[in-house]
């Protein structure tokens, strides 16, 4: 099986964008191709990650983006795995190249979420969970993650202040990321005093709804070595948890993340201690604390202490969400996993400026679809 590397990256500003879905995709794709010094004609295929056609008010947004980018008549496809769609798209591109079907693949993740009201957007996202027994009784993702937070607090003593520290850290990191949706410095009191969403999660424990896109160019090993600084996809792990929360064995972990991480570490021949930085799925602050534990960065129940001790800050033992994470960078659903890859490539190239992790050689992304229905863990090396 052939090795696969990222040889080009592109990213739009996340936030409220006065641009269509196809225009956002074009913006990210153009930047990725320019970074790789390629044109659309050099590509073999296109993979587009988009979660919901309802957001974009289209039936087949992937096809319309393919036409807008000018990839026709070469092959294209759309991938969907809820909030982990971007990572699923990268995995699909990886498999396309590793199998020998293609040599150069463009992966674009994008979402246009601000066309609808917050209430409409939350209703669409809630359909990603069990639609018979949970969505129909008005369960939302804030509610699901609140269940996880309450269970973790009860069992391990995790505090609301520790949850708030995740938000404060990620807002601080986002200040040095020009692509981030939220450029606002906050403190613990700001989080604790913000509007309650679903106890104990508050407004500042929650990520914003965002428009945006990100793109990467993937290349086979034969071609990648011709580029100046390829970043290799060295480990992939995937797992799928139950669609319904009521059938979960535990609310103090996302079991699929542990399984996906184990697979990715084995594939890459590394251990958690080898990871220099991580991009994790912090749609809600408890999600980042769970990720610390599920990924093996600390023991179960110690995630709150890890952030409190400053170990996940830039300069700490394991810097997490150096770009601001979903919490402050934003969360255009289909773009998030690709955006995580862009940040890791930027870090491994040494191009992250004020948010640079010195000497970074190995990065990990952790992307959760829904509340754990899809989990992708991907490891990248220089």
CA distances from 174 to 14, 193, 280, 329, 358 (A): 11, 21, 14, 6, 18
How confident is the prediction along the chain (382 residues), in pLDDT tens digits per residue? 799 999 999 999 999 999 999 999 999 999 999 999 999 999 999 999 999 777 777 778 889 999 999 998 899 999 999 999 999 999 999 999 999 999 999 999 999 998 877 777 677 766 666 666 666 566 787 889 999 999 999 999 999 999 999 999 999 999 999 999 999 999 999 999 999 999 999 999 999 999 999 999 999 999 999 998 999 999 999 998 887 777 888 889 999 999 999 999 999 999 999 999 999 999 999 999 999 999 999 999 999 999 999 999 999 999 999 999 999 999 999 999 999 999 999 999 999 999 999 999 999 999 999 888 899 999 999 9
Q: Same domain, yes or no, for 217 and 334?
A: no
- pTM of the model as a whole: 0.95
Decide if 131 is inside a domain: no
Domain of residue 18, residue span: 4-116+211-231
Pairing of strands 231-239, 45-49: unpaired
Domain boundary residue, one of 196, 231, 266: 231
Same domain, 162 and 252: yes
Count of the separate structural domains present in the chain = 2
Are 197 and 248 contained in the same domain?
yes
Catalytic residues: 83, 331
Same domain, 221 and 290: no
* DSSP class per residue in 147-166: HHHHHHHHHH---HHHHHHH
Is 90 a member of any domain?
A: yes
Domain identity same for 216 and 339: no
Contact 345, 9 (CB under 8 A): yes
Query: Residue 215 and residue 224: Cα distance in Å, rounded?
Result: 17
Evaluate whether residue 13 is within a structural domain: yes
What is the Cα–Cα distance from 136 to 341, expressed in whole angstroms? 35
35 and 68 part of one domain: yes
68 and 144 belong to one structural domain: no
Q: Coil, strand or helix: which one is 115?
A: coil
- Angstrom distance (rounded) from CA 309 to CA 320: 13
CATH number at residue 10: 3.40.47.10
Give the CA-trace dihedral at 118, 147, 87, 162, to 10 degrees.
90
Q: For residues 144 and 10, state if they share a domain.
A: no
Q: Is residue 74 classed exposed, middle or buried when 0-12, 13-18 and 19+ CB atoms within 10 A define those classes?
A: middle
Residues 225 and 205 reside in one and the same domain? no
Please check whether residues 179 and 218 belong to one and the same domain: no
**Residue in the structure block whose two tokens are 């229905």:** 373
Residues 102, 181 within the same domain: no
Cβ contacts of 286 within 8 Å, gap of 6 or more: 145, 148, 149, 152, 158, 163, 201, 205
Q: Are residues 161 and 290 in the same domain?
A: yes
Helical residues (DSSP H) of the chain, grouped into ranges? 21-36, 53-56, 61-69, 85-98, 118-126, 141-156, 160-174, 188-192, 221-224, 255-268, 285-294, 303-308, 325-329, 336-349
């Amino acid at each position: 099986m052939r090795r696969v590397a990222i040889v080009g990256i592109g990213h739009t500003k996340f936030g409220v964008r006065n641009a269509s879905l196809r225009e956002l995709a074009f913006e990210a794709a153009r930047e990725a191709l320019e970074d790789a010094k390629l044109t659309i004609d050099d590509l073999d295929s296109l993979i587009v990650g988009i979660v919901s056609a309802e957001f974009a008010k289209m039936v087949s947004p992937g096809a319309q983006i393919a036409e807008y980018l000018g990839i026709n008549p070469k092959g294209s496809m759309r991938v969907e795995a809820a909030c982990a769609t971007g990572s699923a798209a990268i995995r699909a591109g990886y498999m396309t190249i590793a199998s020998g079907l293609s040599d150069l693949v463009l992966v674009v993740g994008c979402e246009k979420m601000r066309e609808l009201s917050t209430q409409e957007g939350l209703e669409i996202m809630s359909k990603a969970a069990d639609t018979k027994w949970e969505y129909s009784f008005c369960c939302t993702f804030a509610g699901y993650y609140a269940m996880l937070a309450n269970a973790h607090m009860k069992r391990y003593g995790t505090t609301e202040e520790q949850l708030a520290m995740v938000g404060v850290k990620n807002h601080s990191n986002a200040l040095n990321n020009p692509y981030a949706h939220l450029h606002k410095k906050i403190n613990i009191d700001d989080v604790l005093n913000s509007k309650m969403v679903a106890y104990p999660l508050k407004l500042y424990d929650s990520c914003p709804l965002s428009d945006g896109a990100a793109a990467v160019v993937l290349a086979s090993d034969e071609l990648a070595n011709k580029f100046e600084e390829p970043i290799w996809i060295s480990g992939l792990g995937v797992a799928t948890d139950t669609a319904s929360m009521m059938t979960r064995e535990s609310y103090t972990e996302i079991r699929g993340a542990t399984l996906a991480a184990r697979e990715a570490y084995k594939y890459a021949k590394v251990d958690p201690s080898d990871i220099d930085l991580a991009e994790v799925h912090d749609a809600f602050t408890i999600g980042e604390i769970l990720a610390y534990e599920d990924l093996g960065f600390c023991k179960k129940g110690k995630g709150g202490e890890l952030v409190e001790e400053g170990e996940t800050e830039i300069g700490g033992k394991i810097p997490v969400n150096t770009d601001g994470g979903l919490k402050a960078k934003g969360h255009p659903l289909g773009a998030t996993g690709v955006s995580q890859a862009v940040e890791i490539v930027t870090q491994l190239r040494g191009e992250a400026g004020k948010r640079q992790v010195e000497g970074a050689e190995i990065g990990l992304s952790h992307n959760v679809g829904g509340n754990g229905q899809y989990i992708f863990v991907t490891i990248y090396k220089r």
